[in-house]
Homo-oligomer: A and B are copies of this chain.
Amino acid sequence: MNQHSTQASLPLAGLLVLDFSQFLAGPSAALRLADLGAEVIKIERPDGGDLCRSLVVADQRVDQDSALFHTINRGKKSFAADLKQPDDLARVKALVTQADVMIHNFRPGVMDRIGLDAQTVMALNPRIVYAAVTGYGEHGPWRDKPGQDLLVQSLSGLAWLTGNAGEHGGGAPVPTGVSVIDVITGAHLVQGILAALLRRGVSGQGGQVDVSLLESAMDLQFEPFTAFLNSDRTQPARSVENHANVHTAAPYGIYQTRDGFIAIAMTPMDRLAELIASPALAAQAGDAGTWFSNRDALKQTLQAHLVQQDSAHWLAALEPAGVWCADVLTWPQLTEHPAFTALDMTQTIHSPDGQAMQTTRCPIRLDSQRLTNSRGAPRLGADTETIAQTFGLPQLRTTTS
């Protein structure tokens, strides 16, 4: 059962996590706990299981499930149970009494109807950490709204922070191209779970941890959102061109060059004008007080100048001078770069039928060790009987899987 090369010293070794959640936010939290050494058992419906099993992207399947499912659920086990069947529920409750953590992302009210709400579970097992992800919290007018990444990017104001303002540059709100809200919410859930486990080490008592996509989305934006809260509360404006952040002055942004794009972070505009030898920019950039208020015009002049030479030309002029700048790489460019190789950020995992696939590893290094785990995701219900025996679960009168 030990696929980690260094599992004995992993910080969460010996902890049992029951994961009732589906898709990304909850399962990504359980994935991190697994990467850190916990035993994670997915509790799945016998008919189809985690809906992510059938969510195929880029036409990629591995073994019987989507490659996406393997990405998010590597290193876990699967226990099939129909929570509406009393026999299955009794087995799950027997597991719950032995678990350290449980995670679910059912909509508010569902676990109460099943009889696995926090109060009932914590009466069964006072040491358990009961963790839940919702879209918008358990109360309020949005409690039944679908909790989905793109929708929360849209409702939380995040989409209005990205992309260029104005008619010429577009002006539409732009979603971030990864499920950033799901990922940050999962990360917050892990923080809450680990903190509650630390408290248990002192008190002996478990606890309840709740996160929601919307609260986590506001935390993700806490820097500019706090500035908004303490302003006249008008929406902060994006740049018309090369927009990167509502509150940063020129040149902060990504610029087209003759053969690609470069990013330039906070830099004094007069110094920048000198380094790139642009008299037009130098003439415009005299007064530091205008680098924010006049950023659209300054960025326009800068862009017109930078597009005349290749990225390498500009980086050679700027980097040695200490300007914070960088190439804008595609994944093919990044993964072929020695700096990426030096990270050793990928690992090979193996599906139940022995297929190999590449994925990322846990981004946290412990005691200078990279944490890897070569086990792919389990087939639906693959571990049901082994788990029933290991944990002494009640016999089924009927078979559901």
The residues of A with any CB-CB pair to B shorter than 8 Å are 9-12, 14, 24, 32, 36, 57-58, 60, 67-68, 71-72, 136-137, 139-142, 145-146, 148-163, 169-170, 172-180, 183-184, 187-192, 194-199, 201-202, 207-212, 214-216, 218-231, 233-236, 238, 243-248, 252-254, 256, 261-263, 265, 324-332, 334-335, 337-343, 345-346, 357-360, 362-368
Chain B residue nearest to A202 in the complex (CB): B14
A163 to B328, CA, bound (A): 14
> A57-B248, A180-B220, A227-B67 in contact; A254/B360 too (CB < 8 A)?
no
* Cβ contact within 8 Å between A178 and B342: no
> How many Å from the CB of A354 to the closest CB on chain B?
15
A235 to B139, CA, bound (A): 42
What 9 A-B pairs are tightest by C-beta distance, nearest first?
A140-B342, A161-B177, A194-B194, A11-B199, A57-B247, A154-B263, A219-B363, A11-B195, A229-B358
> How many Å from the CB of A162 to the closest CB on chain B?
4
* Cβ contact within 8 Å between A339 and B140: yes
CB-CB under 8 A from A174, the residues of chain B are 162-163, 174, 254
A265 to B24, CA, bound (A): 15
Interface of A is mostly: mixed
Query: Looking at the complex, which one of B227, B328, B359 makes contact with A159 (CB distance below 8 Å)?
Result: B328
CB-CB under 8 A from A210, the residues of chain B are 364-365, 368
* Cβ contact within 8 Å between B263 and A150: yes
* Cβ contact within 8 Å between A141 and B339: yes
A141 to B338, CA, bound (A): 7
A218 to B334, CA, bound (A): 11
A385 to B253, CA, bound (A): 42
Chain B residue nearest to A146 in the complex (CB): B324
* Cβ contact within 8 Å between A360 and B222: yes
CB-CB under 8 A from A67, the residues of chain B are 226-227, 230
* Cβ contact within 8 Å between A175 and B364: no
Chain B residue nearest to A208 in the complex (CB): B367
Query: Looking at the complex, which one of B145, B162, B209, B359 makes contact with A364 (CB distance below 8 Å)?
Result: B209
CB-CB under 8 A from A209, the residues of chain B are 364-366
CB-CB under 8 A from A366, the residues of chain B are 192, 195-196, 207-209
Chain B residue nearest to A243 in the complex (CB): B177
A172 to B242, CA, bound (A): 9
* Cβ contact within 8 Å between B151 and A324: yes
A-B contact pairs, 16 of them (CB 8 A): A10-B199, A36-B191, A68-B226, A139-B342, A140-B339, A140-B343, A154-B329, A155-B334, A159-B328, A187-B188, A194-B198, A209-B364, A211-B364, A211-B365, A214-B340, A225-B360
A366 to B131, CA, bound (A): 9
* Cβ contact within 8 Å between A245 and B178: yes
> How many Å from the CB of A225 to the closest CB on chain B?
6
> A57-B227, A208-B367, A220-B178 in contact; A198/B196 too (CB < 8 A)?
no
Chain B residue nearest to A159 in the complex (CB): B328
CB-CB under 8 A from A243, the residues of chain B are 177
Given A58-B236, A180-B220, A184-B187, 18 further pairs, Cβ under 8 A: A57-B224, A57-B247, A68-B227, A141-B342, A142-B339, A149-B265, A150-B245, A150-B253, A150-B265, A161-B176, A161-B177, A163-B163, A176-B176, A178-B220, A208-B368, A226-B357, A229-B358, A235-B332
